[in-house]
Homo-oligomer: A and B are copies of this chain.
Amino acid sequence: MAGAIEFVDGGTITTPQGFMAGATYAGLKTFAEDKLDLGILFSETPCNTAGVFTTSAIRSATVTVNRERLAQGIPLRGLIVNAGIANTCVGEQGYIDAVEMTGIAAGKTGVRPEEVLVCSTGVIGVELPMALIRDGVEQIELRGAGGSDMARAIMTTDTRPKEVAVSFEIDEHLVRLGGIAKGSGMIHPNMATMLSFLTTDAAVERGFLQRALSQVADETYNMLTVDGDSSTNDTVLVMANGAAHNHEITEGTLAAEAFVEALRQVCTHLTRELARDGEGATHLIIVEVAGAADTADARKAAKTVATSSLIKSAVYGADPNWGRLMMALGRSGAAAEEEKVDLFINGVCIMEAGKPIPFHRDAVVALMKRPEVTFRLQLNLGEGDATAWGCDLTEEYVIINSAYTT
């Protein structure tokens, strides 16, 4: 029933049928070269929509508004997003401005404000210049090919946009799933990365859509770390408009399995791209933990290794200082027995059953100079597996973050 998943060349958030997007420079983003900073995503038809959000106790007003709108349970039509200012920690004005943003976008697209979501990313503690946003929205031209502009408009310290789309068959209907994401610092999501928006023209039942997103976000965005810091604005949204005219996908069907797998591939792709584009990063780090006592332990161990500043620094220097892997494993809280652990760096076994194996140092250093470094930790205790993604720590990260507002 479900065909193979194929990546679409040049795919983005408007690759699924019936979605349009557009972006403009409103004047909010003063620090980046790419000046697009205000975007709108719009669906020609109502969408079942699901979201996952930051678990931080200090949240952007946009998160509050989006949670309320999703709780209504009504189909939604669109999303307005700005980069440059986070609309966080500005008192009651934050909520007022977030609601007004949905109203402006609704006015432009001819829908009701409560059918529109809103996201912001950027500096905390600064009020949104609403006059600029009102003017900016007037400039936006919504187009079926506008997804890539939207991907650029949400960038802050990102060096490149992240966008992808796949297509696959469900019940002999070709359906598409596209996504964009942003975020290269303050990335250690607890519920979501800073911002990622997904669209599909598949018809998907709303409850299943939420469960599928929550599950896949746990395996992808929630296993991503750039610097251990979580944002106040982390949001992942998926909108399903049904334009592909398939039977609505419900839980426990083959179609549901196919949809979850497509969602996993799209989110994994975006997660890897977010890690690779971490602030100052020169290497993508992939941490595979196998044979942990359970999945929770595997996740803890993988994420602790990917988060370690010492390991991130060692990858930057292509230094096979594997003792730091054991250090991070030990402190992760996961059950571990030294005498059972096998370690691999890019496929080369460095430690077997807790004992270091003499390895050809120059060869491993050369392997670690590749743009992707994979650490594999086999704990040989149980069936728990997990993968985490991160990036190396470089002087450039420090330079970027020591003078972001100045």
**A401→B317 CA distance, assembly (Å):** 8
Q: Determine whether the beta carbon of A398 is less than 8 Å from that of B338.
A: no
Give per-residue flags for A101-131: 1 if the beta carbon is below 8 A from chain B beta carbons, else 0: 0000000000000000000000111000000
Q: Mark each residue of chain A from 308 to 332: 1 if its CB lies under 8 Å from any CB of chain B, else 0.
A: 1110011011011111101111111
Closest to A313 in B: B401
A406→B327 contact, CB < 8 A: no
Q: Does A91 contact B (CB under 8 A)?
A: yes
Residue of B nearest to A315 (CB): B402
Q: Mark A79-114, 1 if CB is under 8 A from B, else 0.
A: 000000010111100000000000000000000000
Q: CB-CB contacts of A226-261 with B at 8 A, as 1s and 0s?
A: 011111100000000000000000000000000000
A56 contacts partner chain B, Cβ-Cβ < 8 Å: yes
Interface residue? A66 (CB, 8 A): no
Q: Do A56 and B310 have beta carbons less than 8 Å apart?
A: no
A344 within 8 A of B: no
Flag if B227 contacts A309 (CB, 8 Å): yes
Interface centre among A124, A327, A335, A399 (most CB of B within 10 A): A327
Residue of B nearest to A334 (CB): B57
Determine which of B232, B326, B395, B397 lies in contact with A327 in the assembled complex, contact meaning CB atoms within 8 Å: B232
Give the complex CA separation of A171 and B55 in angstroms: 54
Does residue A1 face the partner (Cβ distance < 8 Å to B)?
Answer: no
Residues of B within 8 A of A56 (CB): 327, 330-331
Asked if B321 contacts A404 (CB within 8 A), the reply is yes
Q: Confirm or deny: A405 has a beta carbon within 8 angstroms of a beta carbon on chain B.
A: yes
Number of copies of this protein chain within its complex: 2
Report the minimal beta-carbon distance from A11 to chain B, rounded to whole angstroms.
32
Taking A307-B228, A395-B398, A399-B395 as contacts, is the C-beta distance between A88 and B326 under 8 angstroms? yes
Report if A394 contacts B (CB, 8 A). yes
A186 touches which one: B231, B307, B327, B337 (CB < 8 A)? B327
The bracket for how many chain A residues form the interface is 35 or more
User: What residues on B are CB-neighbors of A336 within 8 Å?
Assistant: 57-58
Query: Quick one: CB contact mask for A149-175 with B, threshold 8 Å, 1 for yes?
Result: 000000000000000000000000000
CB pair B330–A58 under 8 Å, yes or no, is: yes
Contact check, A319 vs B227: say whether CB atoms are below 8 A apart.
Answer: no
- Over the window 277-321 of chain A, the binary record of Cβ atoms lying under 8 Å from chain B Cβ atoms (1 yes, 0 no) is 000000000000000000000000000000111100110110111
A230 to chain B: closest CB distance in Å? 4
Question: Chain B's nearest CB lies how many Å from the CB of A106?
Answer: 27
Stretch of A17-25, A40-48, A199-207, A350-358 with 4 or more beta carbons under 8 angstroms from chain B? A350-358
In the assembled complex, which residues on chain B have CB atoms less than 8 Å from the CB atom of A383? none
CB distance from A287 to the nearest CB of B (A): 15
* 17 additional A-B residue pairs with CB within 8 Å, beyond A57-B329, A89-B354, A124-B322: A56-B330, A57-B330, A57-B335, A88-B323, A89-B356, A125-B326, A186-B327, A188-B331, A229-B324, A229-B331, A230-B331, A232-B330, A314-B401, A321-B405, A365-B406, A394-B398, A397-B398
- A residues with CB within 8 A of B: 54-59, 86, 88-91, 123-125, 185-186, 188, 190, 227-232, 307-310, 313-314, 316-317, 319-324, 326-332, 334-339, 351, 354-356, 365, 393-395, 397-406
- List of 7 A-B pairs having minimum Cβ-Cβ separation, nearest first: A124-B323, A317-B402, A58-B330, A313-B401, A56-B330, A395-B395, A230-B331
